[in-house]
Structure 1
Amino acid sequence: MYDVVLVRYGEISLKGRNRSFFINTLIKRMQDSISHLEKRKIESHAGRLYVPVKNDGPQLIEALKKVFGIVSLSPAVRVKKDMESMSFACIKLAEKTIPDKDGIKFKVECRRSDKTFPLSSMEIGRDLGAAVLKNYNKLGVDLTKPHYSIGVEVRDEDAFIYAEKISGPTGLPIGVTGRGICLLSGGIDSPVALWLAAKRGIDVEGLYFHSYPFTSDKAKEKVDDLCRVLSKYCGRVRLHTVHFTEIQKAIKLNCDEDMIITIMRRFMFRIAEEVAKNRKALALVTGENVAQVASQTLESMNVINQVVDIPVLRPLVTMDKTEIIDKAHDIGTYGISIQPYEDCCTVFTPQNPKTKPNLQQCIEAEKNLDIESLVEEAVNKINTEVFYREK
């Protein structure tokens, strides 16, 4: 019975003179997400977007609810702005969605953005609620904690009647804030970090460090699967794979055991910065979280950051592990991340890694390494794949 999906966005409406750029980008991302469905025009009117339904409501909703920038959406009936049309639509919607049983309570919640309409929001809600009640014997009204709600928006262009609000991921549409490179492992944290960075409008590309034969091809396949899940939100995920084995061998051969993790992370950042330059990316993104492991103490983060000039974004920095796991469940990456295929960070892991390294210790540890050649060789051998949203 629905003929349109009513789409709401949030902070985009606060963007002032740049608002049209953000809205147009959001519409483009929405069109991309529904490109596998029948083509249609998305309308934009003063804080709302309207997507026509063409016998594909469930598929349309499923695609749109993963688009960053959308706060919520509602399948709705679009009618003329008169009480007769709105009453009829409310009655029909109630018949489809509200059971006529003892103890069931409902309300009509009205929002009137068209201030020329002769009735106030409260008066519209009262009269439409009364019209619905005439068709029920047992239904009651509760304006504070109803079992069911009928939403009404009276806008300049038309009136919209709906029975549910479906949450979107919020944030900003991908691409409005530039490009970033995310150090993506097969663990729980980094896929969540990539998702959160994408939520802020960053076009995020993944950078994976592969240490074959110390790690199996199954570890790489796990990262591929994570990219496929993330592409459901991002549209596509570009993944750059670094062959990291030779660098890890060199570190193992030339550095004290307790410094291996720190020096390895410094190499990762150096390589990531080169990839960022090549891809015109403005920041790195990591899944680091303060004090979660030895390389994530403030001291470690400080000396690792010293090797790059590019900003490093750490979306998880203040979250505890439970919060990160909950988010991984929400976005669908957790089940893949816990598969027992180890990544390069488990190779040559020292028993007692240094947790408070200083810069001089790092410089001393790296003195026998040909840093420039190792980084250049790794960058030159990078393999790049693109994972697209499945249609």
Structure 2
Amino acid sequence: MKTNQILVRYGELSTKGKNRSSFIGRLRDNIRQMFADLENIRVKAERDRMFIFTDSEEDMQQILERLPKVFGIQSFSPVTETALTMEAMQEAAIAVIDKLDLEGKTFKVNVNRANKDFPHEKLEIMQAIGSNVLRNFPELTVQMKKPDIELKVDIRENGAFLMAEVIQGAGGLPVGAGGKALLMLSGGIDSPVAGYHMLKRGVRLELIHFFSPPFTNDRAKEKVFDLAEKLSHFGSSVNLHVIPFTELQQEVHKQVPDNITMTSTRRMMMKIADLVLAETKSQAIITGESLGQVASQTLESLNAINAVTNSPVLRPLIAADKLEIIETAQKIGTYDISIRPFEDCCTIFTPANPKTKPKLEKVEYYENFVSFDELIQEAVQNREVIKFPRKKENKFEDLL
């Protein structure tokens, strides 16, 4: 008896038609990438389900811990393999059920007798396994329609396979199935959550961050690195483009009235993002803006910011309130990173009384006093690009 495979159930993929195979292939590749560091696993994709195989207990534990983060999966179940005897199946059923929370629960046994040469009929198998489970777990009661626990027994030629635990997956679509977009990652609470929502819709991410030393320090930069690392754990690697923004930001503050510097700064960011988008062959820009949350996120401000780009700008949090965003950030593990007290360039340069309804023609008027194009090109050319997840350092590498 051994738990050596996992049955993966598709979610939204099941609604796809002729292109279903491409979605399934993308999910299979994402799973392989997620577990690239595990040598003893094998992934087998079928039209209606997928199997992950391993004979290593340590690898199985790693799979169970990481798989809930892979988008495109509705649910999955560990599968226990045992010998084709009634006694072996009864013993395996006890082991499978014993891992579950049973208090006040109902259950039933469901048998698929695919191996017609097995000497016992389906009803006989159900009764033998079910009665043995009840003897060992008297807190359970039998319920044939919609039970809390369904013990599935699949009898094949090469053995019997049992499962009962159903673990919820992340849902959504496989990352990469929805194209690629550039996420403006600030280091705050909102932008990583925006990235998470787009990952769930199958969008592969490139990340861009604006860094203004010495006004922002290396700890602020490391905070963004940690957020990028988190976002790379949902089934796909990401590249982070770190833009040197100090000179450009200082020039904005020289040329533009203080109360519209926030709007103008974000317009410069958007222009830079447009160039990086083209170089990375991304198809849209993603921001973490939520309508009305701050001065730069009013409809008037968003209109002025959008005016510098023809690229689609996706704002998955536009109608979310802050408490909803915080709840999601806590769920995905980015909240504690985002609230570290190291400010980004937008926070440090926030004016005392920013315009909430900036007029586009006035913003453009003040920006026309100087050409920002050369500074924008330099910022793009001098950017640093880091790939995540980062490889873990081997402490003993020098000794090998």
> TM-score, normalised on structure 1?
0.87
The verdict on how the C-alpha distance between 1:262 and 1:85 changes in structure 2, with shifts beyond 3 A counting, is same
Distance in structure 1 (CA, Å) of the matches to 2:155 and 2:299: 52
| Fraction of identical pairs, as percent | 40
Aligned to 2:25: 24
After superposition, what is the alpha-carbon deviation per residue over 1:289-337, rounded to whole angstroms, capped at 9, x for unaligned? 1111011111111111111111011111111111111111111111111
Residues 297 and 364 (structure 1 numbering): CA distance in 2 closer, same or farther, change over 3 Å? same
Aligned 8 A contact 2:108 2:142 in 1: no
Cα deviation, residue 284, structure 1: 0.5
Partner of 2:290: 289
Q: Where does 1:226-305 land on structure 2 (aligned, <5 Å)?
A: 226-305=227-306
Aligned-partner Cα distance in 2 for 1:365–1:124: 84
Relative distance call for 1:109 and 1:327 in structure 2 (3 A) is farther
Which AA in structure 2 matches 1:44? A
Q: Does 1:198 align with 2:192?
A: no
Distance of aligned partners of 1:161 and 1:259 in 2 relative to their CA distance in 1, 3 Å threshold: same
> Cα distance, 1:81 vs. partner?
9.9
Classify the secondary structure of the residue corresponding to 1:350: coil
Deviating more after overlay: 144-153 vs 159-168: 144-153
Q: Deviations over 1:78-117 (max 9, x none)?
A: 4699998865643442355577xxx754312649798x9x
**How many equivalent residue pairs?**
382
| Distance in 2 separating the partners of 1:284 and 1:108 | 50
Q: Distance in 1 between matches of 2:21 and 2:336?
A: 39
Which of 66, 70, 74 is equivalent to 2:77? Answer: 74
Taking structure 1 as reference, are residues 293 and 13 closer, same or farther at Cα in structure 2, changes over 3 Å only?
A: same
Letter in 1 for 2:338: S
1:61 aligns with 2:61: no
What is the match of residue 2 of structure 1? 3
Q: 1:132 — aligned with what?
A: 132
Is this contact kept in 2: 1:210–1:242, CA < 8 A? yes
Shift of 1:144: 9.7
In the alignment, the residues of structure 2 paired with residue 153 and residue 48 of structure 1 have an alpha-carbon distance, to the nearest angstrom, of 17
Deviates more, 1:35-44 or 1:211-220: 35-44
How far residue 194 of structure 1 moved from its aligned partner, in angstroms, is 1.3
The residue number in structure 1 matching 2:42 is: 41
Give per-residue Cα distances to partners, 1:337-388, cap 9 Å, x unaligned.
Answer: 1000000002331111111123212212212131322211211111111122
Between the aligned partners of 2:84 and 2:46, the Cα distance in structure 1 is 16
Structure 1: state its 5+ residue gaps: 117-121
Root mean square deviation of aligned Cα: 3.1
CA distance in 2, matches of 1:128, 1:290: 60
Which residue of the partner structure matches residue 119 of structure 1? none
The amino acid that maps onto 1:355 is: T
Q: Secondary structure at the match of 1:204?
A: strand
Distance in 1 (alpha carbons) for counterparts of 2:210 and 2:201: 25
Name whichever of 218-227 and 137-146 sits farther off: 137-146
Secondary structure of the corresponding residue to residue 78 of structure 2: strand
SS of 1:41's equivalent? strand
Shift of 1:5: 0.6
The offset of 1:77, in angstroms, is 2.1
Residue in 1 that maps onto 2:108:
108
SS in 2 for 1:58: helix
- The amino acid of 1:299's aligned partner reads E
| 1:139 partner amino acid | E
What corresponds to 1:352 in structure 2? Answer: 353
Could you tell me how far apart the structure 2 residues matched to 1:201 and 1:165 are?
Answer: 23
Could you tell me how far 1:165 is from its partner in structure 2?
1.6
**SS across alignment from 2:352:** coil
Contact 2:304-2:360 at 8 Å conserved across structures: yes
Cα distance in 1 for partners of 2:49, 2:85 equals 20
User: Cα 1:178–1:156, aligned 2, differ >3 Å: closer, same or farther?
Assistant: farther
Give the AA of the match of 2:67: L
Letter in 1 for 2:269: M
Deviates more, 1:19-28 or 1:192-201: 192-201
Question: Contact 2:283 / 2:311 at 8 angstroms: preserved in 1?
Answer: yes
